[in-house]
Chain A
Amino acid sequence: MLVLTRREGEWIAVGDQVLVKVLGVKGDSVQIGITAPREIPVHRGEIYEQIRAATEAARRSASPDALARLVPKKTQSPGT
C-alpha cells in the first residue's frame, strides 16, 4: 500500500481522473472529498465490504437444495 502524508487542503491524484482531497481534520475524523468519473463507484470501505459479503453469501446459497427449501415456503399458494 502506498502511504502518503497530506495536510488539510492538500490532495492526491489517482491516475488522471480521480482526485482525493483532504477537506478537514476534526479529532479522529478526516473529511475527504473525492472527484471521480461517474463510472467509478465510490463507497465507504465498510459499506463496500458489507455489500461484497452479502453478495458472496447469496452466491454461496444458490443451490438446487436451497431452492427446494425455498419453493414450498415462498411460492405455495395460500391454503395449499
Chain B
Amino acid sequence: MNVETIQHPLAAGRPVREDEVWEFPEGLIGFPALKRFARVELDEAPPFQLLASLDEPAFALVIVSPWIQVPDYELVLADDALAPLGNPSVKDVEVAVSVVLPGPETPYSLNLRAPFLFSAGRRLGLQRASTDDRHSDRFRPEASGASSCSS
C-alpha cells in the first residue's frame, strides 16, 4: 500500500510503500526536526539510494553503502550507539553514508564520519558519529585510490 509520494526532484511523484518509510527518532545530526524518511532505490543509478524527508519535501540525500567504494571501511561506534534501535544484532543493521554528488565546484565525496544506521526489523534509523577520527566527512574515493563502483 502506498502511503505518500516523494516530492524531491530526484524521485518526484514516486509513491512510497509503507515498508520504505523509516523513523529517525532523533532526527539527523544538525537536523533534529527531520524524523520521517522514505528510503528508495534510485533506479537510474544503482546502487545509490535516496533518503528523502517526509517532513520537509525539499530535503533529500543520496546515500550508498560505504563498502561499495571503501571495502576496508571499519565503523567504530560507542558501546550504546545502537540502543535507540533496540540494540539489534549488528548483522541486522544496514549502514549507508551520504554522498555529495559531483558538481562544477564540488567533488564527489562520501561522509564516512557520520553514517546512517537502519534496523529493518523496526523500521528505525539513526545517524551516528564514528568514534574513529580518521573517518572523513568528505572522503573522496578517487583521490584516495579506493575502488570505483560499477554495476
- Where the two chains meet, the residues of A that have a C-beta atom closer than 8 Å to any C-beta of B are 38-39, 41, 43, 47-59, 61-64, 66-67, 69-71, 73-78
Q: From known contacts A55-B111, A67-B62, A75-B45, infer whether A62 and B10 are also in contact, taking CB-CB under 8 Å.
A: yes
Name the CB-closest residue of B to A38. B83
State whether B45 touches A58 (Cβ < 8 A): no
Q: From known contacts A74-B148, A76-B150, infer whether A51 and B101 are also in contact, taking CB-CB under 8 Å.
A: no
Q: Does B145 contact A (CB under 8 A)?
A: no
A61–B111 Cα distance when bound, in Å, is: 13
The SS class assigned to the B binding surface is: loop
Interchain nearest-CB distance for B118 vs A (Å): 16
State whether B84 touches A39 (Cβ < 8 A): yes
Q: How many A-B residue pairs have CB under 8 A?
A: 121
A71–B42 Cα distance when bound, in Å, is: 10
Interface residues on B, range: 35 or more
A12–B101 Cα distance when bound, in Å, is: 43
Q: B24-81: which residues lie under 8 A (CB-CB) from chain A?
A: 25-26, 28-31, 42, 44-48, 50, 59-62, 80
Name 19 A/B residue pairs within 8 A (Cβ), A-sorted.
A47-B113, A51-B29, A51-B30, A54-B100, A54-B138, A55-B28, A58-B62, A58-B99, A58-B101, A61-B99, A61-B102, A62-B8, A62-B61, A67-B48, A67-B62, A70-B45, A75-B149, A75-B151, A77-B151
Name the CB-closest residue of A to B30. A52
Interchain nearest-CB distance for A67 vs B (Å): 6
In the complex, chain A residues whose CB is within 8 Å of the CB of B20: none
State whether A67 touches B83 (Cβ < 8 A): no
